[in-house]
Each structure stands twice: as C-alpha cells, then as structure tokens.
C-alpha cells in the first residue's frame, strides 16, 4: 500500500525564528495523522514543507522511499485542501474537480466518470454544474475535497479545512471526513488547532509546539497520558495543582496522592497534578483519605448538558468540575459550603513543566 | 419634491441643493472642453471658430483624404498597439512579482515602476532624444514603442496590482498542488481572474501611447511622425479645423472603447 511518509530532521529558520526544529516523523500508509498545536507552533510550516511550498534548511522527506525534498509542488502528486477552500471561482464545480485530471491528460468519458465519482463521494454530484460562488461553505469544502482526491494522490494534506465552518457543520464534516478516510484509505496529514477535532479524526496526533513535536500518540494516549504540562494544558479543560514530593511519595496540600505512574521527574523539577473537570468525583468514600481534595464551592453554573461547579482550594486556586444533569438540581453542592472531591488513581497524572 | 428626504438621514434635497450645483459645475468643466470641439469640426470656415457660422464636412474630408494624415494615423495606431502588447505583458509580470515579493525589494521595485509617472515628461523626452541620437533610434518605430512602453508601464502595474490585491494567492498554490507548474497555474487560474484589471491596464497603455505628444515631438519625425505630432504641427502652422475633426473622431473612439469595456464588465459581473 503506498503512502508511507518519512520525515527526517527537518529544520527551517526564518531569520532568528526557528519554525521547525529538527522534526522527524514517520507516517504509516493509510494513517490519519493530525498535527495539533497553537498558531505559530510550526504545524502549518511542516505541512507546507510536505507540500513543497516551503523549502527547509536541512533534512529529508521521503514518500514511499523516494526523496521529495527538492521536488517542486506540482510534481509531488499530493492532494491539498486549504482552510479557505481556494476553489477557482471562474470555473464550475465540475471544471474545478476536473482541473487536476486535465493536467494529467485525462479527457472525454474517463474525465467525466472520475469527476462524477469524486463528486459522488462527497455527495455533491447533483451540484456539478453550479458555479462555485453559488455554494455554501460546507459545499465548497466538499468540492475542494473532491478536487484533492479525484486524481488519487498518495497523500492528502489538509490545512485547517473546517475552521471556517460553524460548529454544527464542522462536527458533521468531521464525521464525513472520517468516513471518507475509512473508505479511501489515503494517508492523510491534517493540521488543526482544535483539540476536539484532532481527537475525533485522528489515528495518531502529533502535538506541535515551538517547532518541535512535543508528543506523538493515539488520541487516548495524548489525552490520558500527556507527557508534559504543555500537552496537558492544550488538550481538555485542564487545571493544574502544585504537588510536593516527599520521602513517602507525592503530597497534595499535605495529603497523600496515589498516582498512576511514579514521579520520575528530574531533581528540582516541580510536578503538577493534571485535573480535568470530568475526572473529578465528589460524594465518594468518606474514609478514603488518599487523593482527597478539600475545597469550597464558589459557583454552580447550569450549561444545559451539564453543571459546571467551581470550587476553591485552600490556597485560593480554583478548579472546575463537571457533572451530568441526570439527578436534576437536588443533589448539587451548595454555594459557599465545603466540598470533598476525589480523583481516581488512574486519572491522577503528574506532569513537569518540560519533558 | 425638494423637501423630501434624500436619504435615511432626513437631509432633504433642498438642503443638498448646493452639492448638486457643485457637482453640475464640476461635470460642466470636465465635459464642455471636449464637446466644444465637435461643433468646431463641422465648421464651414477656414479657421477654428466657435460657434461656427456655417456648417460643412470638409474637414473630415481633409483628414480622410490626406495621405499624410492617414500615414500618421497608421504610425500612431501601430505604436499604440505594440506599446499595449509590451507594456501589458511586462506590467502584468511586474505587478505579479511585486505582489508576491516581500519587504524592501518589493517596495523598491514598486517605486521604480512608478518613476515614469513622476518624472516630468519633458525630461524623459530629452533623455530619450539624446540617447537615441547616439544609437540611431530617433525617428524609428522601435524607439517610439520603447519610450511609450516605459510611459505606459506604471498604469498597467497599478491596474494589475489592484486586481491582485483582492486575489487569493492560495488558489495558485492549490493549482500547483494539483499538478500545475507555476507558469501554468498563473495562466489558467490567476490570469483569468485578473483579466479585467489586465484589460483596463491595456486600455490605459493604448491611450497613453496614442495620446502622447511630448516624446513624439522629440523622437518621431519624417515617415514615422505620429498623429499627435502632426496635429501639433498643424495647430502651430495652419490652425485649420482638421484638428477639430480628428479630435472629434478620437473622442468618438474613446467613448466606444469605454462603453465597450463597460459592457464587457457588466457581462462579467452577471456571470
């Protein structure tokens, strides 16, 4: 199966700014890999290096064993979808999708058949003869997608393709993208800054920051086993509490903390406890003193699908916890009252500032 | 009627009367000098006069019947067409380069391309004349077209730059990723979308060359005298209404070109 990408030691500097700092990454054939990071992290630069629009200072990229680094974009045979769709407004939907095929000398019935097929895959066959200006955002993105897959590229590159759509459509398109990928099996490199989108779509996620891949793993590895404070902070509604390490193990506000993994940080490095609102329990076993947090309820906010309860720690730090609305309002803590919270051991994760 | 509001802001037409009158005056100053020449061209007199005391078509006959005028017209048309081709090609490429480049190089290039508009025409003319005298380009079509191309370049660059300003360069990148080489991506994706700007630049280039008189006075002559040069000489030596007849024809030509491009544009917008 074609579509194996090997990225080796890619470096790219703009003046004194290091956009890509010795990035290496292997992408398996058929894999859906997401580059996730804040803006300016280097994820788009890396995508543009793959596409051939940015020439790195050093490194190597091979696709199915062939070196791509010096190949101009039009000889790479990669499908690319841009954030703003970049459809050609002077061509109809059909001509847009046919463009890459005509460049490859496909014509006549073969051209029509393949254009129809690609448009069918994205459910746009019925609008083939429209002008692209008459389409909605979601339809445009579908056409852009059809145009990027119609010539059966070995790799599909997508640069925040859904970020211009509203939330509901975005979530719908995520599912469609996932199904399309399952069906075509094209190796896909997807850039986004939306962590939920990355978790939804990806086989693996590469979290990028400061021109480096900070962590590479499956969505549950990234979410449940963040390597450092940056990753934990970037994914989920994460709060951090400072943890002391003593001879008897980790301590949180003087209470013992049983963690999933032993703290292996370097000496002098401060561990942080990763707390996410949906992982905090309350009304647990009163006798359990480990992983117990004493706090005071400061706010209770009804958000429709859940309650968001804000609590204050002894040292003034604030935490959120989320609770489903299944029990109605009667079982909620009261504002201003003390509250006891527990963290299950498997969700008790310590991270350092840097890994 | 006058006291009805002109806009949502409740300002009445009466309160706006001064504005309407000012606009009417501006229009009058813009249009009348052009219109005055038309009745003069139908004059029956031997001299330029307004209003004419008698009417005739003799000056149109004088223009169309004269081999000298016809030759000059041909020289001007040929120079203008060649200028249009060169200035549009180079100007479009220059605008593309300027819009894609960043930083000081881009600003510098933009400045250099605007120079011909800023330097007094008479200096360009003298410069051309002195250089051409050394290399034997005075009185040649090549020399004239080169000088006019330089004059027309800024207009093309400005027109195409404004077209490129609203153009999304990502489209060209997409085209490249889909398999088009960069020149091909430009020709099939970028150019069709900025063609109205390119065409209006071309129109400016044509008019710049066709109307130009100062450089033509210096470097065109003999068999290669342009229409404007001949008109200028005619006014100086004879002052007969042939010039008015030619001017009227030129005004007609300009109106046709303008209306034509306007119609083209309208059809484009509806698509």
Averaged pLDDT, B35-60? 83
The mean pLDDT value for B88-117 works out to 91
Angle between helices B103-118 and B141-165 (to 10 degrees): 130
Per-residue pLDDT at A326: 65
Q: How far is CA A312 from the centre of its chain?
A: 30
Question: Any idea of the CA torsion for A314, A320, A322, A323, to the nearest 10 degrees?
Answer: 30
Mean of pLDDT values over A277-305: 80
For residues A82 and A28, membership in a common domain is answered with yes
Gap from A246 CA to chain B (nearest CA, Å):
56
| Among candidates B176, B177, B193 on the partner chain, residue whose Cβ is nearest the Cβ of A90 | B193
The span from the CA of B70 to the CA of B83, in Å, is: 20
Yes or no, beta carbons of A53 and B173 under 8 Å apart: yes
Token code pair at residue A134: 């008459």
The nearest CA of chain B is from the CA of A34 a distance in Å of 19
Share of chain A above pLDDT 90, in %: 46
Band (pLDDT 50/70/90 cuts) for residue A62 is very high
Q: Most B CBs within 10 Å: which of A63, A89, A104, as the mutation test of the B interface? A: A89
CA-to-CA distance for A342 and A335, rounded, in angstroms? Answer: 19
CA distance B93 to A86: 22
| Single residue among A163, A194, A229 that ends a domain in this structure | A229
* Position A203 confidence tier, pLDDT thresholds 50, 70, 90: very high
pLDDT class for A157, splitting at 50, 70, 90?
very high
d(CA A188, CA A202): 9
Q: What is the CATH number of the domain that holds A10?
A: 3.40.50.300
Instruction: Give the gyration radius of chain A's Cα atoms.
Output: 24
- Least Cα separation, residue A204 to chain B (angstroms): 24
Pairwise CB contact (< 8 Å): A104 & B193: no
- Per CB-CB distance under 8 Å, the chain A contacts of B178 are 74, 79-80, 99-100, 103, 147-148, 151
Residue B106 has pLDDT above 50, yes or no: yes
Question: Are both A111 and A82 inside the same structural domain?
Answer: yes
Which of A208, A229, A250 lies at the terminal end of a domain, its last residue?
A229
Q: What are phi and psi of A348, to 5 degrees?
A: -95, 100
pLDDT for B233 beyond 90: no
Averaged pLDDT for residues A81-104 = 92
Name the residue in chain A with its Cα closest to that of B189: A88
pLDDT, position A156? 93
Q: Do A74 and B174 touch (CB under 8 A)?
A: no
How many Å apart are CA A226 and CA A199, to the nearest integer? 13
Quick one: pLDDT at residue B16?
A: 84
Question: Which range, A177-191, A235-249, A321-335, B239-253, is most confident?
Answer: A177-191
Partnered with residue B43 across adjacent β-strands are B55
Mean of pLDDT values over A339-355:
80
Provide the CATH number for the domain around residue A274: 2.40.50.140
Question: Mutate which of B177, B186, B269 to disrupt the A interface (most A C-beta within 10 Å)?
Answer: B177
Q: How far apart are CA B102 and CA B109, in angstroms?
A: 11
Among the partner-chain residues A74, A82, A84, the one whose CB lies closest to the CB of B179 is A74
What's the rounded mean pLDDT across residues B36-41?
86
Count of CB pairs separated by less than 8 Å, A with B: 68
Task: Determine the pLDDT at residue B235.
Answer: 83
- Structural domain boundaries, residue B173: 67-270
Q: Indicate whether A109 and A9 sit together in one domain.
A: yes
Distance (Å, rounded) from C-alpha B147 to C-alpha B83? 9
State the Cα angle at A238 between A232 and A239, rounded to 5°: 110
Give the full edge-to-edge strand order of the sheet including A32-36.
Answer: A78-81, A155-159, A187-192, A32-36, A204-209, A212-217
Work out the minimum CA distance from B112 to partner chain A, whole angstroms: 27
Q: Pick the most confident of A62-76, A278-292, B247-261.
A: A62-76
Which of A73, A104, A131 has its CB closest to that of B176?
A73
Whether A256 shows a pLDDT value over 50: the answer reads yes
Please report whether residue B78 resides in a domain: yes
Residue B12 lies in a domain: no
B177 vs A103: CB contact, 8 Å cut-off? no
- Reply yes or no on whether the pLDDT at B4 is more than 80: no
Same-domain pairing of A193 and A248 = no
Who contacts A161 (Cβ-Cβ below 8 Å, separation ≥6)?
Answer: A81, A82, A83, A141, A144, A145, A177, A190
Mean pLDDT score of chain A, rounded to an integer? 87
The average pLDDT across B72-101 equals: 94
Nearest to B234 by CA among B33, B68, B58: B68
- Point out the domain boundary residue: A229, A245, A265: A229
With 60 as the cut, is the pLDDT of residue B223 above it?
yes
Could you report the per-residue pLDDT of B8-34, keeping only the tens digit for each?
Answer: 777 778 888 899 999 999 999 998 888
**Are A182 and A45 members of one domain?**
yes
Higher pLDDT, B190 or B44: B190
The 10s digit of each residue's pLDDT in B124-146 is: 999 999 999 999 888 888 999 99
Q: Quote the pLDDT of residue B271.
A: 45
Are residues A183 and A256 located together in one domain of the fold? no
Contact B173 A73 (CB under 8 A): yes
Weakest-pLDDT range from A178-182, A222-226, A288-292, B119-123: A288-292
Return the residue of A nearest to B176 by Cα: A74
Is B9 a member of any domain?
A: no
CA neighbor of A235 nearest in space, from A270, A201, A198, A279: A198
**Taking residues B31-43, what's their average pLDDT?**
86
Judge whether B262 lies within some domain: yes
Supply the pTM of this predicted model. 0.80
Mean pLDDT of A278-298: 77
Percentage of chain A beyond pLDDT 70 is 94
The string over B219-245, giving b where at least 16 C-beta atoms fall within 10 Å of a residue's C-beta and e elsewhere, is bbeeebbbbbbbbbebeeeeebbbbbb
- A128-150, pLDDT tens digit by residue? 898 888 898 889 999 999 999 99
A124 and A97 within one domain: yes
Give me the pLDDT at residue A329, please. Answer: 54
Mean pLDDT of chain B: 88
- Compute the distance between CA of residue B109 and CA of residue B153 in angstroms, rounded to an integer: 12
Q: Tell me, yes or no, whether B131 lies in a domain.
A: yes
Which residues on chain A place their C-beta less than 8 Å from a C-beta of chain B? 51-53, 72-80, 82, 84, 86-90, 99-100, 103-104, 131, 144, 147-148, 151, 157
Give the 3-state secondary structure of residue A302.
Answer: strand
pLDDT: is A103 or B258 the higher one?
A103
What residue numbers bound the domain in which A324 lies?
237-351
Q: Which two tokens stand for residue B95?
A: 């605008």
Mapped onto helix, strand or coil, the DSSP state of residue A345 is: helix
Alpha carbon A340 to its chain's center: 33
Domains in chain A: how many in total?
2
Instruction: Determine the residue of chain A that is closest to B195 in CA distance.
Output: A90
**CATH number for position B197:** 1.10.3720.10
Query: Quick one: pLDDT band at residue A349, thresholds 50, 70, 90?
Result: confident
* Total number of domains constituting chain B: 1
**B253 pLDDT higher than 60:** yes
Stretch A265-272: mean pLDDT: 75
Q: Measure CB to CB from residue B177 to each of A51, A84, A89 and give the nearest one.
A: A51
Task: Return the C-alpha torsion angle A335, A339, A344, A345, nearest 10.
Answer: 130
Instruction: Tell me whether residues A80 and B177 touch, CB distance under 8 A.
Output: yes
Same domain for A99 and A26? yes
Task: Label residue B269 by pLDDT band (50, 70, 90).
Answer: low
Q: Chain B partners of A76 at a C-beta cutoff of 8 Å?
A: 177
Nearest to B181 among A53, A74, A157 (CB): A74
For residues A85 and A82, give the distance between their C-alpha atoms in angstroms, rounded to a whole number: 5
**Which residues in chain B touch residue A51, judged by CB atoms under 8 angstroms apart?**
173, 177
B193 contacts A86? CB cut-off 8 A: no
Q: Give which of A165, A167, A105, A171 is closest to A135, Cα–Cα.
A: A165
The predicted pLDDT at position B57 comes to 86
Q: Is residue B174 part of a domain?
A: yes
Q: Residue A338: its pLDDT value, please?
A: 85
| Residue in chain B nearest A153 by alpha carbon | B178
Closest CB to B179 among A90, A100, A144: A100
Residue A207 in this model has a pLDDT that exceeds 50 = yes
| CA atoms of B29 and B47, how far apart (whole Å) | 24
Instruction: Identify the residue with better confidence: A325 or A219.
Output: A219
CA distance, residue B101 to nearest chain A CA (Å): 14
**Parallel/antiparallel/unpaired status of strands A155-159 and A78-81:** parallel
Chain B residues touching residue A52 (CB < 8 angstroms):
176-177
């Amino acid at each position: 199966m074609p579509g194996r990408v090997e990225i080796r030691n890619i470096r790219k500097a703009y003046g004194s700014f290091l956009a890509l700092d010795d990035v290496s990454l292997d992408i398996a054939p058929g894999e859906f890999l997401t580059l996730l990071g804040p803006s300016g992290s280097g994820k788009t630069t890396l995508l543009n290096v793959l596409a051939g629009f940015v020439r790195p200072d050093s490194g190597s990229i091979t696709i199915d064993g062939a070196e791509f680094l010096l190949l101009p974009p039009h000889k790479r045979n990669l499908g690319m979808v841009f954030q703003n769709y970049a459809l050609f407004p002077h061509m109809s939907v059909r001509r847009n999708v046919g463009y890459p095929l005509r460049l490859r000398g496909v014509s006549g019935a073969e051209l029509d058949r393949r254009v129809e097929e690609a448009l069918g895959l994205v459910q746009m066959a019925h609008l083939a003869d429209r002008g692209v200006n008459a389409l909605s955002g979601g339809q445009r993105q579908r056409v852009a997608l059809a145009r990027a897959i119609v010539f059966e590229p070995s790799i599909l590159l997508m640069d925040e393709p859904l970020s211009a759509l509203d939330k509901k459509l975005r979530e719908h398109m995520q599912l469609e993208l996932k199904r399309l990928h399952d069906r075509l099996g094209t190796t896909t490199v997807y850039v986004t800054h939306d962590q939920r989108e990355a978790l939804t779509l990806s086989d693996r996620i590469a979290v990028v920051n400061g021109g480096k891949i900070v962590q590479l793993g499956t969505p549950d590895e990234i979410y449940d086993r963040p390597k450092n404070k940056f990753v934990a902070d970037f994914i989920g509604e994460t709060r951090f509490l400072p943890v002391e390490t003593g001879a008897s193990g980790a301590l949180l506000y003087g209470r013992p903390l049983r963690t999933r993994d032993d703290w292996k940080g370097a000496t002098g490095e401060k561990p942080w406890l990763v707390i996410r609102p949906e992982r905090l329990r309350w009304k647990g076993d009163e006798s359990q003193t480990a992983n117990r947090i004493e706090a005071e309820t400061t706010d209770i906010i009804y958000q429709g699908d859940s309650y968001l309860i804000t609590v204050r720690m002894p040292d003034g730090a604030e935490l959120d916890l989320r609770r489903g609305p299944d029990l109605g309002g009667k079982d909620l803590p009261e504002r201003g009252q003390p509250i006891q919270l527990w963290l299950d051991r498997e969700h008790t994760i310590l991270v350092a500032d840097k890994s | 009627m006058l006291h009805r509001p002109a806009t949502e802001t409740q300002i009445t037409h009466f309160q706006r009367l001064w504005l309407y009158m000012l606009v009417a005056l501006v229009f009058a100053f813009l249009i009348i000098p052009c219109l005055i020449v038309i009745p003069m061209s139908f004059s029956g007199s031997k001299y330029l006069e307004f209003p004419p005391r008698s009417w005739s078509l003799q000056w149109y006959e004088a223009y169309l019947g004269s081999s000298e005028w016809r030759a000059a017209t041909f020289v001007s048309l040929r120079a203008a067409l060649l200028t249009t081709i060169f200035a549009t090609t180079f100007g479009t490429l220059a605008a593309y380069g300027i819009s894609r480049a960043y930083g000081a190089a881009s600003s510098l290039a933009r400045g250099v391309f605007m120079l011909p508009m800023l330097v007094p025409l008479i200096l360009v003319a003298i410069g051309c004349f002195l250089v051409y005298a050394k290399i034997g380009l005075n009185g040649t079509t090549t020399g004239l077209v080169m000088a006019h191309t330089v004059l027309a370049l800024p207009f093309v660059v400005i027109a195409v730059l404004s077209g490129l300003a609203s153009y999304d360069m990502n489209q060209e990148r997409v085209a490249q990723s889909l398999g088009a080489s960069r020149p091909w991506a430009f020709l099939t994706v970028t150019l069709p979308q900025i063609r109205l700007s390119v065409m209006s630049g071309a129109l400016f280039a044509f008019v710049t060359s066709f109307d130009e008189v100062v450089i033509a006075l210096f470097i065109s002559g003999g068999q290669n005298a342009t229409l404007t040069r001949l008109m200028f000489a005619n006014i100086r030596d004879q002052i007969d209404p042939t010039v008015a007849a030619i001017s009227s024809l030129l005004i007609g030509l300009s109106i046709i070109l303008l209306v034509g491009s306007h119609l083209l544009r309208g059809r484009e917008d509806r698509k």
